[in-house]
Chain A
Amino acid sequence: MSGPYGTMAEKVLMKGNEAIAEAAILAGCRHYFGYPITPQTEVAAYMAKRMPKIGGTFLQAESEIAAINMVMGVASTGRRTMTSSSSPGISLKAEGLSYLAGCDLPALVVNVERGGPGLGGIQPSQSDYFQATRGAAHGDFRMIVLAPASVQEMADLTMHGFDLADKYRMTSMILADGTMGQMMEPVSLEAPEVKTYDKSWAVTGTDCKRPHNIVNSLYLVPEDLERTNFERYERYRTIEENEVMYEEFMMEDAEICIAAFGVAARVSKNAIMAARAEGIKVGMIRPITLWPFPKAAFKKAAEHVNTFVSVELSMGQMIEDVRLATECARPVVLCNRAGGMIPSPEEVLQRIKEVNGGMTK
C-alpha cells in the first residue's frame, strides 16, 4: 500500500500527535471531534486536513463537552470515532465518559496530559493518572488506559485501542504526556486488519424490519442497574485476565525495580544503564496498560526485588497501584517531578543510589 506517508512499513518522521491521528485514520476512524488545547492541537490540525479528503468528518466542537457527546452520537451508530484533548479538557469530557460507559459504547479518547490542577501549565505531566485509572467520572466504571512511550507506540496503541474498544464496548484512553505528543521520531504506519465486531445494538434505523434499538444508561429499577454493573465488571475481569501489556527491562537479576510509564520510562532507562555501569542491579517494569495494571508482574518481581521506585511526572499516583500490586511486601518509594517538570536521568540515578544505599522512604 502506498499513501501520503510512503509505502507500507516505510519509516517516516512524525510528531506523536500526528502519529495518533494517522493511526486512527488507518484503523478506520472517520469521525473526529475536538476543541483546541495545548499540547494536543496537532491531532485536530491533522484531522482537519485529512478527514475532508477521505470522506470523513472533522468538526471543531463548541466545547469538550460537545465533542465527547458528538463522539457518543457517532459511537451509537456503531462507527469508529474519537476525540482528543489535554487535562482541563478531559475534565469537561468526564460526563460524556460516564455516559459512554453506561451505554456500553466503544470510543477512543486521547489525553495528552499537561500539568495541573486548574489551568495548570502547558508542559508535560502524568498527573491525570488517578482520573484515567480510577474512573474519570461518576458511577462504577473503568476505561482501558494505554500509555505510549514512543511515537511508534502512539500509533500502535491508537490502533490497538480502537480494537479493544470495539471488542469490549467501552472507552479506550490513550494517556500520553505532552512530551509524547510533541516529540518527533521515525514511525512505520501500516493499516491494521480491522476485525468485524457485532454491532447489532447500534442505532442505524430500524428499516421497519427489527424492533427499535435503544442506546441508554437509565435504569430506574435498582435491581436492573445492579445487574448491568455486575455484567460490566464481569467484562472488566476478562480484560484484566487477557489484555495486560507491559515491558520488562533488565529485570532478571534486579534488586531494585523502577516502575515508570511514558516519558518517565525513557528517562529511567538511561538512569538504569548508568546505574548498571556502576554495578547496581536495577531494572524496570513499564506498564503499557495502566488499566488493567500489570499486577502479576509486580507481584512476581516482589519475590526478588528489595525496593520499588515509582518514577512519575506527578505527586505520586501510580505508586499506589505499585503498592497494591505488591501488597506492600517491599518498600515503594517515589522519584518525581511535577507541574510540567520532567525528572532527569541524573535525578533518577541519584534516587537509585539512595535506595541502593538502603533508603526506604
Chain B
Amino acid sequence: MTVFDKPKSLTDAPLHYCPGCTHGIIHRLVAEAIDELGIEGRTIGIAPVGCSVMAYNYFTVDMVQAAHGRAPAVATGVKRADPSKIVFTYQGDGDLASIGTCETVHAAARGENITIIFVNNAIYGMTGGQMAPTSLPGQITQTSPYGRDVATQGYPVKVCEMLSQLDGAGYLERVAVNNVKNIKNAKKAILKAFKNQVEGKGFSLIEVVSTCPTNWGLTPEKALEWLNDNMLPYYPLGVYKDKFAEEAAK
C-alpha cells in the first residue's frame, strides 16, 4: 500500500532549492490542491522572479514566467482571456510586496478571480540575502548589515493585514510550514484558495511564512526554530479575511 506519493501535478524534475528550503513543501501543497480538485488540465501557473522562478519546470500545468513583481497582472490577463481556466501565481516577498506591490494591491482591489501563493521568507533569496520588505526589525541581511533599522529602513509590510482593508480581497490567510500541524493547516488554506476560484468566488491570497536557511545563515532545523521564535510573533497566523464565508453566513 502506498501511503505517500508524489502529487500528479509535480513533474519529475529535481527541485533546485537548497537543502531544507521550505519552497519544496509549498510546491507540494500547491500540487496536492490541484490534484484534489482535479483541475490539472485547466490550471495555468505564473512563476515569479525569485528563487521560485523555475517553478515552471516543477508543475505539470501550463506555465508563464512573469517579470519581477508582475505576476498578478499577467495572471489577470490569462484569467480575463479565459475565465474557465484556474490561474495561480507563486511569488516571494520581494516580488509581491516590494517591486510588485502595486500589481498585488490592485489585483486584490479588483477582486480578480485568481489564487496567489505568497512565500514570505523575510529575505531576498535568489540574489543572495538582501533585506526584503518583510525583513524583521533588527534582522541582519546583506543590505542591513547592522540589522534592519526602522528609523532609516522602515517597517516590514504586513501583506495580509494591509490587503484585508480592501473590499475586493476575498480570502486572506497567513499560514506557516515549520511543523506538521502548520503544514496541514497550510494545505487546507491553499486548497480553499483554489476552491474559491473554481467556484468563481474571487481573489484569494495565502501568505506562507517560510524559511531561507541559506541566507538566514542557519541550518534547516535552526531556521524552523527562528521562524517560530521571530517571524510568527510579528506575522501572526490566521484568517485575515474571508468575505466569501461572511457572505455565505448572511
Contact = CB atoms under 8 A, between A and B. Distances in A.
Contacts of B63: 203, 212-216
B74 A206 contact: no
Contact of B81 (A31, A215, A218): A31
Given A70-B73, A96-B67, A208 B81 contact: no
Interface string A32-62: 0100000000000000000000000101011
Given A65-B70, A69-B73, A73-B64, A59 B80 contact: yes
Given A206-B40, A206-B61, A217-B65, A79 B102 contact: no
A66 B73 contact: yes
A212 B74 contact: no
A73 B40 contact: no
A72 B66 contact: yes
A70 B62 contact: no
Nearest to B11: A212
Given A70-B73, A73-B74, A203 B65 contact: no
A265 to B, nearest CB: 35
Contacts of B79: 73
Contacts of A71: 77
Nearest to A209: B41
Nearest to B8: A208
A212 B77 contact: no
Nearest to B110: A59
A261 interface: no
A62 B103 contact: yes
Contacts of B47: 216
Contact of A33 (B70, B77, B105): B77
B85 A76 contact: no
Contacts of B64: 72-73, 76, 103, 203, 214-216
Contacts of A66: 70, 73, 76, 102-103, 106
B158 interface: no
B42 A203 contact: no
B43 interface: yes
B82 interface: yes
A205 B62 contact: yes
Contacts, number: 133
Interface stretch (B52-60, B181-189, B197-205): B52-60
A205 B73 contact: no
Contacts of B42: 205, 207
A95 interface: yes
* Interface secondary structure of B, over-half rule: helix
B67 A95 contact: yes
A107 to B, nearest CB: 10
B59 A65 contact: no
A99 B78 contact: no
A216 B64 CA distance: 6
Interface in B15-63: 40-44, 46-47, 53-54, 56-57, 59-63
A127 interface: no
A27 interface: no
A144 interface: no
A99 B70 CA distance: 11
Contact of B77 (A70, A206, A218): A70
Interface in A189-241: 203-209, 212-218
Contacts of B41: 205-209
A256 B85 CA distance: 59
Nearest to B102: A62
A360 interface: no
Contacts of A74: 77-78, 80-81
A61 B77 CA distance: 11
A123 interface: no
Contacts of B54: 218
Interface string A86-99: 00000000011001
B159 interface: no
B76 to A, nearest CB: 5
Contacts of A213: 62-63
A77 interface: yes
Contacts of B70: 65-66, 69, 72, 95-96
Contact of A205 (B46, B61, B80): B61
Given A57-B81, A72-B77, 7 more contacts: A62-B103, A70-B77, A74-B81, A76-B74, A103-B65, A212-B63, A214-B56
Interface of B: 11, 40-44, 46-47, 53-54, 56-57, 59-67, 70, 73-82, 85, 102-103, 105-106
13 contacts: A62-B103, A62-B105, A62-B106, A66-B76, A70-B74, A72-B70, A73-B77, A74-B80, A81-B81, A204-B85, A205-B62, A209-B41, A214-B63
